Amino acid sequence: MIDPKKPFYADVPEPLASEAVNQLSFNSPSEPVYYADAAYDGHRVYIRTQALPPFAQDLFVAKSGTQWNVRKPNSSHSPLLSEPATLTQLVQNIGLREISSARLGLGA
């Protein structure tokens, strides 16, 4: 079996990385595809990490058939654990952009 620590938590410090690996579930059910709904047009964000090759993630985005705002933090699959401050800033910036656009009536 492949150790999931490298692709998912390569830059997460121990013991947090090991704790996160122990909580992984590879049998979770798929959720319905909600992001394709027109209500999300202009508001979709894909956070591209270093866990998968960039071309594969670009393919996921392209094959989704919808427009995405792609952000690229310099982290493994889990920036929430490895770079929480960076991820928080990224999400805040996205939120501020959405609020500003809504106030100006610009959409996203």
Query: In terms of pTM, does the model score above 0.75?
Result: no
DSSP class per residue in 2-69: --THHHHHTTSPTTHHHHHHHT--S-PPPPP--TTSGGGTTT-EEE--SSS-HHHHHHHHHHTTS--E
pLDDT recorded at residue 14? 94
Predicted local confidence at residue 30, as pLDDT: 61
Please write the tens of the pLDDT for every residue from 8-39.
888 899 999 999 888 887 665 666 677 788 88
Spans of all domains in the chain: 43-77
pLDDT tens column, 68-93: 888 887 777 788 888 888 888 888 88
pLDDT of the residue at 60: 85
Task: Give the integer Cα–Cα distance in Å for 85 and 103.
Answer: 27
